[in-house]
Amino acid sequence: MPSGSGACGVTLPAGAYQGTFSAALDSPATPDLNASTHTSMSGPIRLSVGANGTINGTWSYEAQSVYDATVGKMQDHSESSWTQTDGVLSGSLCDFAAGGGHLGQDRCHDSVLGDCSGLIPGLTIPISYRGAPTSNVNGQLTWAWALGLPDGSSESASWSISVSRP
Q: What is the pLDDT of residues 2-51, one digit of tens each?
A: 344 445 777 778 899 888 888 887 776 666 667 788 888 899 989 898 98
pTM here is 0.74
What's residue 70's pLDDT? Answer: 83
Q: Give the residue with greater pLDDT, 155 vs 54.
A: 54
What burial class does residue 92 get, using C-beta atoms within 10 Å of its C-beta: 0-12 exposed, 13-18 middle, 19+ buried?
buried
Q: Are 41 and 63 in contact (CB under 8 A)?
A: yes
Whole-angstrom Cα distance, residue 63 to residue 103?
Answer: 10
Q: Are 1 and 16 in contact (CB under 8 A)?
A: no
CA dihedral for 111, 113, 118, 124, sign (positive or negative): negative
pLDDT class for 127, splitting at 50, 70, 90? very low
Contacts (Cβ under 8 Å, ≥6 apart) of 84? 41, 43, 60, 61, 62, 63, 101, 102, 103, 104, 125
Whole-angstrom Cα distance, residue 67 to residue 34?
Answer: 11
pLDDT class for 116, splitting at 50, 70, 90? confident
CA dihedral for 125, 129, 91, 85, sign (positive or negative): negative
Q: Give the residue with greater pLDDT, 24 vs 120.
A: 24
Asked if residue 53 has pLDDT above 80, the reply is: yes
